Structure 1
C-alpha cells in the first residue's frame, strides 16, 4: 500500500467534530438535530460545549459514530450548510 492509499481513519469509530457558531439558544439543539439526520443514535450526552472568552460564540464538540468516510463527509456537509454554524473542524 502506498502512502496515498493508506487509510487515515479506521471505521467505524467514535469521531469528534468541532462546531463553532454564534451564542444562540437554538445552537446546540440545531447542531444535534442536524447530526441526527445522519447519525440518529447521537444524543445530548455526545455534545460538550463551552462559550468563547467574550461570550459571543459557542464551541461544541459532537462525538459521532462514523461508519465510513462518506458518512462523515455527509455530516460535515450538513453542519457546514447550517445557518447558525460558522466553522466546522
Structure 2
C-alpha cells in the first residue's frame, strides 16, 4: 500500500492544516480513542477538530481529524499509528 504522505512535502508548506480520514466500527470508544492516539503526535488537537459521520447502515463511523501538521515525519507517524490500531479499518 502506498503512503498517503509520500509526496506531501512537495505539496505543502508547514505548518499546514491537514485533514485525515479514519474509519472504524461505530462504538462509544472509537472517537475518544482516535482523539487520544492522534493527540500523542499533534498535541494541539482539540475535539472540535474532529467531525464524525455515520455510515448509512450505522455500523461504521468515519472521522475527519484535522491536525496542524508541522512536518511530513509527523504525518507519517500519525498514519503509521492509525493504520496499525486495532479499531481502525482504514486511514487516508
Number of matched pairs: 85
**Shift of residue 56 of structure 1?**
0.5
Structure 2 residue aligned with 1:12, among 3, 15, 29? 15
Q: Distance in 1 between matches of 2:15 and 2:47?
A: 21
TM-score (norm 1): 0.91
- Alignment partner, residue 68 of structure 1: 71
- Residue segments in structure 1 that go unaligned for 5+ positions in a row: none
Rg larger in 1 or in 2? 1
1:33 corresponds, among 26, 32, 36, to 36
Q: Which aligned runs of 4 or more in structure 1 are off by greater than 4 angstroms?
A: none
Unpaired runs of 5+ residues, structure 2, are 1-6
CA RMSD in angstroms, aligned pairs only = 1.4
